Structure 1
Amino acid sequence: MSNKVMDKIGEVFAAARNVLVLTHISPDGDAFGSMTAVGSVMRALGKNVTLVVEDGMNDEFAYLPLADKVKKRLPYDGDYDLLIAVDCGDEERMGEPYLEVQDRPIIVNIDHHITNTGFGRFNLVPSSTSSACEVLYTLFDHLNYEISQDVAISLLTGIVTDTLCFRTSSVKPETLSIASALIKAGADLPSIVSRALVVKPFASLKIWREGLNKMKLEAGVAWTTLSFKDLDKPSFDGGSNAGLASMFSNVKEAACGAVLREKEDGRVVVSLRSRPPFSVAEVAVELGGGGHAQASGCALDLPLEEAEFEVVRRLKASVAAQKAALLKK
């Protein structure tokens, strides 16, 4: 990571007064972890900070510091001189909250996705890093910010979830060193693994059941669809389809998995996962989204059936091409 860029970001942080922190739609542990970590650091620096994500806080990550401060919409009286985008590959992925920002402030873009478009005035996007939370630790350490217990809990959550508990190819010796430092700072690794990766609300299992009942497997692609009508029931409140795409990608006969979830406004949010050596990042980019090799996503303004056809068609073609390339090696 560039020391010059980190120094400049530190200057921008120091000068800011009112800070808005945004992340991507359908947020995961790295999104929530990086958002709340930045929120805690900004508060420690004496800033007014607002945390917003279109979907609101997921119940599975309600243990995170500042989880109760995460909003779904921008306050009407918001006046920001700095926007920090975390774990987000492009502006569109920030959804409605980004569109609601009236006077665009300085944007600092902190991410790790290889597909990041570099949309900020200042961009810290080392694509070889395991997670946005690992990037943030390096930044905070470089700027000599205190890593409090709250910050450590948030950052370790992001690293643990994005690496599937240190099981992805993005895990390097530095990743483990950072995790060790966060544990020393007070983050409880067994508790975080249990809460973020193992324990699920019963409502989430009900959502998974809906998806599993409609799952399909063709040409190395396992997928399902979840319509808004299917999930618009009180018994699904607080639930999430997080983890379902990863389950599909672990099917022996599959190279990748996909979950297409229809939102209330008709958009379809697509979660893509793959098992090495296969990648889903290219398909996500083709569809206007982004991510990294084994975990990507996008949002489509298409009816659910059309979105399903388009996503599955592209995934099948991608898997076939990647299999052919592997055979030539």
Structure 2
Amino acid sequence: MTPNVRDRADRPSRAAPCHDAIPEISWDRAVRLIGGAEEVALACHVTPDGDALGSMLAVGFVLRSMGKRIVASFGDRHFAVPRLLRFLPGQDMLVPPEEFPPVPGLVITFDASTPERLGLLRDNAARAREVIVVDHHPSNESFGTLGLVDSTAAATAMLAEQLVYRLGGRLDRDIATCLYAGLVTDTGSFRYPSTTPAVHQMAARLVATGLRTDEIARELWDRSPFGYLKVLASALERVRLEDGLVWTYVTRVDRAAYGLPYAELEGIIDIVRRTDEAEVAVVLKEDDHGDWQVSTRSKGAVDVGTVCSVLGGGGHHNAAGYTSHDGVVETMARFRRELAKVRRRSSGAV
């Protein structure tokens, strides 16, 4: 079943959140730009999570039903959909970065707070005539020519759903699967403080299409190769607790011993963050190029989004990240310094 973009009488516009942070004039301009384009290039952030890839594919379904030529991608040097997300429908829309239009007419980005988060597609987007940015990160740098950005939205998927409706589309099982993956990913399966009544209302709309939420949950959280357990054991063996901060790291050598792809490391931070004695959790993950991808979490008292923004990344108050080109020792030293500054400001100290 595909969305019927012509039957606007069936469009559940009242059921969708209004997202007042985005002016109506911006939504209207986005619809006009998309309506006037023959080809639309879609891009999400590198190493995509469920919110980035799910939001992009959901909108891609609607655009394709409108008769648009669709090209969708993300700018990783080793282009591959993370194993945990291979259940998402619509992946026939995806192309590797080298097949992305070099000078696109219209680009829509999803869940990317900065141009750098587009990776290899950054220059393509910079050359585009129009760039619509769909995002919910407070650290968004307002790049592009039109921003559909609402930092109060729990997930970019909430904005993608609104765009689906405004383009005249309706939810079907494929679109809902993509949006639900984004919603549960960025709300921690409805456990994070961002889980509002609007989040549950959206979930109800998506589930009403006939989703198997148990199957989606199993794909996202309840599967891993045996090597993950071995790498996790190494990370937990190294874990350190110091002054309300718990942290550890995973090297390329750790992964290579078990043939474990980098994308399989995402869940380690959720185990480390459980530590009762720590307010902030950090996991350093060495990628295939020798850089350290730093994932951070806070239980609420510390704004790790601010810390990561200073260090070249970004995110949310309770969940953020950045890339470090230094070693473990220097990376953690810089993080501690910036963390101390944020703690002093939050406590009112000079």
TM > 0.5 fold call: yes
Q: Indicate the larger mover: 14-23 or 93-102.
A: 93-102
SS in 1 for 2:246: strand
Q: Take 2:106 and 2:60, find their aligned partners in 1: how far apart are those partners?
A: 13
**Which has the greater radius of gyration?**
2
Change over 3 Å in CA distance of 1:312–1:163 after alignment to 2: same
| Equivalent of residue 248 in structure 2, options 214, 219, 224 | 224
Paired AA for residue 272 in structure 2: F
Equivalent residues in 2 for 1:236-255, closer than 5 Å: 236-237=260-261, 240-255=264-279
Paired AA for residue 271 in structure 1: S
Equivalent residues in 2 for 1:129-148, closer than 5 Å: 129-148=153-172
Q: Take 1:304 and 1:264, find their aligned partners in 2: how far apart are those partners?
A: 15
1:271 and 2:295 correspond: yes
1:164 and 2:204 correspond: no
Q: Point out where structure 1 has 5 or more consecutive residues left out of the alignment.
A: none
- For the 8 Å contact 1:56–1:70, the answer to whether it is kept is no
1:291 and 2:315 correspond: yes
**2:325 aligned residue:** 301
Compute the displacement of 1:233 (Å). 4.5
Q: Take 1:22 and 1:272, find their aligned partners in 2: how far apart are those partners?
A: 24
SS in 1 for 2:264: coil
Cα shift readout 1:220-270 (whole Å, capped 9, x = no counterpart) = 111122223332356213751112222222210111211222233333221
Change over 3 Å in CA distance of 1:3–1:203 after alignment to 2: farther
Cα shift readout 1:261-280 (whole Å, capped 9, x = no counterpart) = 22333332211111124321
**1:8 aligned residue:** 29
**1:65 aligned residue:** 89
What RMSD in Å do the two structures reach over aligned CA positions? 2.4
Paired AA for residue 135 in structure 1: L
Percentage of pairs with the same residue: 28
**1:89 aligned residue:** 113
Change over 3 Å in CA distance of 1:269–1:91 after alignment to 2: same
**2:207 aligned residue:** 183
Q: Indicate the larger mover: 284-293 or 219-228.
A: 219-228
Equivalent residues in 2 for 1:4-153, closer than 5 Å: 4-53=25-74, 54=76, 56-67=80-91, 69-75=93-99, 78-99=102-123, 103-153=127-177
Q: Indicate the larger mover: 225-234 or 148-157.
A: 225-234
Cα shift readout 1:33-64 (whole Å, capped 9, x = no counterpart) = 11221222222222222222215311011100
Q: Take 1:102 and 1:94, find their aligned partners in 2: how far apart are those partners?
A: 10
SS in 2 for 1:299: strand
Q: Take 1:170 and 1:182, find their aligned partners in 2: how far apart are those partners?
A: 18
Compute the displacement of 1:8 (Å). 1.0
**1:210 aligned residue:** 234
Compute the displacement of 1:205 (Å). 3.2
Paired AA for residue 178 in structure 1: M
Q: Take 2:247 and 2:296, find their aligned partners in 1: how far apart are those partners?
A: 9
SS in 2 for 1:278: coil
- For the 8 Å contact 1:203–1:240, the answer to whether it is kept is no
- For the 8 Å contact 2:104–2:124, the answer to whether it is kept is no
State TM-score, norm by structure 1. Answer: 0.89
Moved over 6 A (4+): none
SS in 2 for 1:240: helix
Q: Take 1:228 and 1:71, find their aligned partners in 2: how far apart are those partners?
A: 27
SS in 2 for 1:129: coil
